[in-house]
Amino acid sequence: MTQTTTPATQKARNTNDPKYSKLAIGVCPDQWGVWFPDDPKQMAPRQAMQEMAEAGFEILETGPYGYFPTDPKELKSWTDEFGLKVVAGTGWGILHKAEAWAETERHFRQIAETHAAVGAEYIVHLPPLYRDDKTWEFTDDRVLSPEAWHLYVDNANKLGQIMLDDYGLKMVLHPHGDSHIETPDEIARIFDATDPRYVNLCLDSGHVVYGGGDPVELVHKYPERITYVHIKAFDPKITKEAHDKDWPFGEAVTKGASVRPPAGLPEMHAFIDALAELDKDIYCICEQDCYPCPPDFPKPNAIKMRDYLAECGLGLK
């Protein structure tokens, strides 16, 4: 497939309504059931990128590093072929253990080199989970010690400064179920302790709901720290059951916690309106946690999600 007729970002922004015109809709592999660089339960990467373009997306966050090509020339060849613009890369990295810092820095520099070379603007830091994605076994302390939390914050500032000063990329921390940045209090602690020059928030609306927070309230409370968004929804009843029964996050996903709007929370009209009121350029990357999923699920599901979000003001059909 070669896409040559649609200029990049032509439908990503709602140019029909100035209120929403600074918000741009995009997509990442999570919407296609991809959590890992390589996994037999996931769709082949070229097929996924082609389907993303066919679903109407023009803006891309590349997701797990190594799923799409890591060589910038090859990555750009793919995205040019499918009419996509890369705006962000994603990485997992341990910040709260001194012995892990060297590997975290090395990995993020590798991601940054690829993404700076293709014109990306952001690096999304995904926190390591304290339960394994696949086995659901505990792999870390559920609650960080004061010393570990202090190191987490110091290394977040250090990593964000490296990303900005050496690569021109803005780093955003991602709240996540089963991580040390999940609840409203934990997010507030991050805001209080980090330097906004180097660290801001990837506001993942679904994970905020899963952590017991209100994404709209976060936008109103921290307008200057909201610079990048993962837009998704979670079912409040399944989320409550997951916490009541202490399910691992992966189990909650397999039982249907992550849903396609208009199902679930947040209510998207209110959330998108709150983002629009910030009056600044924000990428809103569609995600629905659905690993693992049948190969015929992601594309029609994503089209329905994109069409609904367009009805809410985000992008054009």
Q: Cβ neighbours of residue 93 under 8 Å, at least 6 residues apart? A: 100, 103, 104, 107, 108, 125, 126, 128, 159
Question: How confident is the model at residue 98, as a pLDDT?
Answer: 97
What pLDDT, in 10s, does the model give residues 195-219? 999 999 999 999 999 999 999 999 9
Residue 97 included in any domain:
yes
What pLDDT, in 10s, does the model give residues 16-33? 999 999 999 999 999 999
Residue 2 included in any domain:
no
Residue 300's domain comprises: 18-311
Residue 231 included in any domain:
yes
Residue 11 included in any domain:
no
Residue 65 included in any domain:
yes
Q: Is pLDDT above 70 for 7? A: no
Residue 123 included in any domain:
yes
What pLDDT, in 10s, does the model give residues 77-102? 999 999 999 999 999 999 999 999 99
Number of structural domains (the chain) is 1
3-class secondary structure for the chain?
A: CCCCCCCCCCCCECCCCHHHCCEEEEECHHHHCCCCCCCCCCCCHHHHHHHHHHCCCCEEECCCECCECCCHHHHHHHHHHHCCEEEEEEEECCCCCHHHHHHHHHHHHHHHHHHHHCCCCEEEEECCCCECCCCCCECCCCCCCHHHHHHHHHHHHHHHHHHHHHHCCEEEECCCCCCCCCCHHHHHHHHHHCCCCCCEEEEEHHHHHHCCCCHHHHHHHCHHHEEEEEECEECHHHHHHHHHCCCCHHHHHHCCCEECCCCCECCHHHHHHHHHHCCCCEEEEECCCCCCCCCCCHHHHHHHHHHHHHHCCCCCC
Question: How confident is the model at residue 50, as a pLDDT?
Answer: 98
Q: Is pLDDT above 90 for 9? A: no
Q: Is pLDDT above 70 for 3? A: no
Question: How confident is the model at residue 93, as a pLDDT?
Answer: 95
Question: How confident is the model at residue 139, as a pLDDT?
Answer: 85
CATH number, residue 242: 3.20.20.150
Residue 95 included in any domain:
yes
Percent of the chain with pLDDT strictly greater than 90:
91
Out of 124-128, 131-135, 144-148, 196-200, least confident range: 131-135
What pLDDT, in 10s, does the model give residues 261-303? 999 999 999 999 999 999 999 999 999 999 999 999 999 999 9
Q: Looking at residues 65-76, what average pLDDT do you find?
A: 98
* Rounded Cα–Cα distance for residues 41 and 253 (Å): 15
Query: pLDDT higher for 128 or 120?
Result: 120
Q: How confident is the model at residue 131 (pLDDT cuts 50, 70, 90)?
A: confident
Percent of the chain with pLDDT strictly greater than 70:
97
Q: How confident is the model at residue 130 (pLDDT cuts 50, 70, 90)?
A: confident
What pLDDT, in 10s, does the model give residues 45-56? 999 999 999 999
Residue 96 included in any domain:
yes
Q: Is pLDDT above 50 for 36? A: yes
What pLDDT, in 10s, does the model give residues 236-270? 999 999 999 999 999 999 999 999 999 999 999 99
Q: Looking at residues 172-194, what average pLDDT do you find?
A: 94
